[in-house]
Amino acid sequence: MAWPFSWGVWGSWAGLDAGQPVGGLQLLALALLAGQLDGARTWQRGAWLGGLFATAMMCATFWWLFISLHVYGGLAAPLTVAAIVLLSALLGLYYAAASGLFVALAPGAPWLRAVVFASLWLLAELARVQFFTGFPWGEGGYAHVDGWARPMAAWVGVHGLSWMAAFAAAWMAFCLLATPTRWPAFIAIAMLGAGLAWLPVYNAGTREPDPALAKPMPVTLLQGNIPQDEKFVSGTGVATALRWYGEQLLGARSALVVAPETAFPLLPHQLPDGYWQALQSRFASGEQAALVGLPLGDYETGYSNSVLGLKPSPPGQAAEAAYRYDKHHLVPFGEVIPTGFHWFIRLMNIPLGDFNRGVVGQPSFGWQGQRLAPNICYEDLFGEELATRFVDAARAPTVFVNVSNIGWFGNTVAIDQHLQISRLRALEFDRPMIRATNTGATVIINRLGEVTHSLPRHTRGVLEGEVQGRSGITPYAWWVGRFGLWPLWIFGLAVPGLALVFRRRG
């Protein structure tokens, strides 16, 4: 949950900036829901309360879809509002089912009821992550990227943090609703949470001394701030992008320069004569490399949302083929059209709206001893997919590179939400994350999830800084890379299953 206010007495009173995660508000909201469910007499009543809560939560989380669908996509305002509410309600069905089951299964002791509530809540979150391509934006664990559960991120990941938050909120609610003799348990869990916040963040370290990782890499991150309504217009946004990004790429002096998602909104063969060849020649020699976002493909084979890597070939070797990363996790209705929904897309104007899917676990971009792992836009929401690159420690990424275009959603809290998502990925994997975006947030995040360098959002600029690569594997990277989310599914299903068994015996 993020602080919604950015000005006036509200922001100064709370001492918070807009978009800053506030885990306490989320705990309060979950505690109120758990208390309401604890008093529900029927599972139908519980399902209604949980579904209503989740629908409101989703609408408040990604209301900014209105900007992409209506302002830039051209969908009529009433249809846009209906689409967002319908999407929220459909996702809310997971939480409605979890809440109804809780009312039906909850055991007697407050802490046991809290375990059941948290496990069912976890199942709802996992369903939102994986079913129907997944849309886990705003998952509960992200509210605690700066909070008491932060040190546990490298052990259990964002989904584990979601379980911990739901458990803590429910246990405190159930203790307060019980007799005063239960209140010491409320104090105990509050103290335990405060104690967790003082634990150090996990340090994966390095298995072997690596000279390449001992030296920070200078990087240049580009933020073109091309207006979204001009980005694909040849006379305005396209021309500006070609001129500005071309100048910055040709003039950069850092070891690595990164341009954002679809920095060039044209296929390579559509670029002006000699343009792409000049960029290839620029990075064919010397000590600089580049990662550039642009679409690739053709009408016959299909298109992909991609990143190309340009770097010099080793001395004495033939020129290497350009590195290529194709986005795997595509955005429904924005990058891939689900079967049966082409009629919906025809109501909007979204260029390049149907891409081919890349494979999971694509190789990293090797440069100056670093293994740079690109991911595009909201791919960094799916940590379990990023983790597949960590199964082989010798090939595991040393730095994450996110290229994004959040210009579709205006100057809204979506930028802040995506930043917190990237920060939590850094904590989970003990890896820095560098982000080059069109409108923000263009930042450098260290392994502790801290923003060390940043550009003001919705400005055109160049961010220069250094990034310190890392090796070693966190516990979360180890188990989720090998087993995916199955351990969480098994745990989440086992708890209510046992509750059902004991309830029948009782």
Q: How many CA atoms lie within 13 A of 454 on its CB side?
A: 14
Question: Of the listed 139, 377, 385, 428, which one is catalytic?
Answer: 377
Residue 175 designated active-site: no
Give CA–CA dist 126/98, Å, rounded: 12
pLDDT level of residue 12 (50, 70, 90 thresholds): very low
For 364-381, write each residue's pLDDT tens digit. 999 999 999 999 998 999
pLDDT at 115: 93
| DSSP string for 341-369 | -HHHHTTS--SS---PPPPTTPPPEEETT
Predicted confidence band at 23 (pLDDT cuts at 50, 70, 90)?
confident
**Separation between Cα atoms, residue 288 and residue 219, nearest integer Å:** 10
Domains of the chain: 17-202+484-505 (no CATH), 211-473 (3.60.110.10)
Q: What end-to-end distance do the CA atoms of the chain give, in Å? A: 38
- Position 21 scores a pLDDT of 80
DSSP annotation of 182: G
> For a pLDDT cut of 70, what percent of the chain falls above it?
84
Summarize the confidence of residues 184-207 as an average pLDDT. 68
Handedness of CA 140, 146, 149, 150 (dihedral sign): positive
pLDDT of residue 166: 95
Q: Which of 433, 489, 503 is nearest to 119 (CA)?
A: 489
CA proximity to 433, closest of 391, 365, 374, 363: 374
Residues in contact with 337: Cβ distance below 8 Å, sequence separation at least 6, in sequence order: 345, 353, 354
Compute the half-sphere exposure of residue 389: CA atoms within 13 Å on the CB side of its CA. Answer: 25
Residue-wise pLDDT for 49-73, tens only, equals 999 999 999 999 999 999 988 888 8
Specify the pLDDT at position 188. 67
Alpha-carbon distances of 353 from 69, 227, 337, 377, rounded to whole Å: 13, 18, 7, 15
pLDDT, average across residues 445-467: 96
Instruction: Round to whole Å and give the CA distance between 260 and 365.
Output: 16
Give the pLDDT of residue 330: 79
Query: What region, left, alpha or beta, does residue 15 occupy, with left being phi > 0 and alpha being psi -120 to 50 degrees?
Result: left
Cα(17)–Cα(80) distance, rounded to whole angstroms? 29
Mean pLDDT along residues 246-269: 93
The rounded mean pLDDT for the chain is 86
220, 252 Cβ separation under 8 angstroms: yes
Looking at residue 298, its pLDDT comes to 81
Q: Check 175, 231, 311, 327 and give the catalytic one.
A: 327
- At how many degrees (to 10) do helices 153-177 and 486-505 cross? 30
pLDDT of residue 185: 62
The residue-averaged pLDDT of 324-330 equals 89
Residue 408 is classified by DSSP as: G
Whether 335 is catalytic is no
CA 442 – CA 404 distance, rounded (Å): 9
Catalytic residue among 125, 139, 261, 384, which?
261
Least confident window among 20-24, 92-96, 97-101: 20-24
- Encode burial over 63-75: b for 16+ CB neighbours within 10 A, e otherwise: bbbbbbbbbbbeb
Classify burial at 465, counting beta carbons within 10 Å of its beta carbon; exposed 0-12, middle 13-18, buried 19 or more. middle
pLDDT digits (tens, 9 = 90+) for 466-491: 999 998 899 999 999 999 999 999 99
Q: For the ranges 33-47, 156-170, 210-224, 267-281, which has the lowest average pLDDT? A: 210-224
Average pLDDT over residues 292-310: 89
Q: Tell me the Ramachandran region of residue 101: left when phi exceeds 0, alpha when psi lies from -120 to 50, beta otherwise.
A: alpha
Cα Rg of the chain, angstroms: 24
Q: In terms of DSSP bridges, do strands 443-445 and 451-454 run parallel, antiparallel, or are they unpaired?
A: antiparallel
Burial call 15-43: b when 16+ CB within 10 Å, e when fewer: ebebbbbbbeebbebbbebbbbbbebeeb
The 10s digit of each residue's pLDDT in 304-316 is 899 999 999 776 5
CA distance 472 to 432: 13
Q: Given pLDDT bands bounded at 50, 70 and 90, which one contains residue 183? A: low
Whether 300 is catalytic? no
- Kindly report which listed range (167-171, 275-279, 281-285, 351-355) carries the lowest average pLDDT score: 351-355
Cis omega before residue 127 (within 30°)? no
Mean of pLDDT values over 314-327: 73
Of the candidates 60, 83, 58, the one whose C-alpha atom is nearest the C-alpha of residue 348 is 83
Closest CA to 379 of 360, 366, 392: 360
CB-CB contact of 120 with 496 (8 Å): yes
Which tops the pLDDT comparison, 318 or 457? 457
Q: CA 311 to CA 288: how far, in whole Å? A: 7
Higher pLDDT, 13 or 20: 20
Q: What average pLDDT does the segment 255-262 reach?
A: 96
Q: What is the pLDDT of residue 10?
A: 47
Distance CA 33, CA 136 (A): 20
pLDDT-based confidence at residue 355 (cuts at 50, 70, 90): confident
Summarize pLDDT for 380-433 with one digit per residue, the tens. Answer: 999 999 999 999 998 999 999 999 999 889 899 999 999 999 999 999 999 999
Average the pLDDT over 148-157 and give the result. Answer: 91
User: 16 pLDDT band (50/70/90 cuts)?
Assistant: low
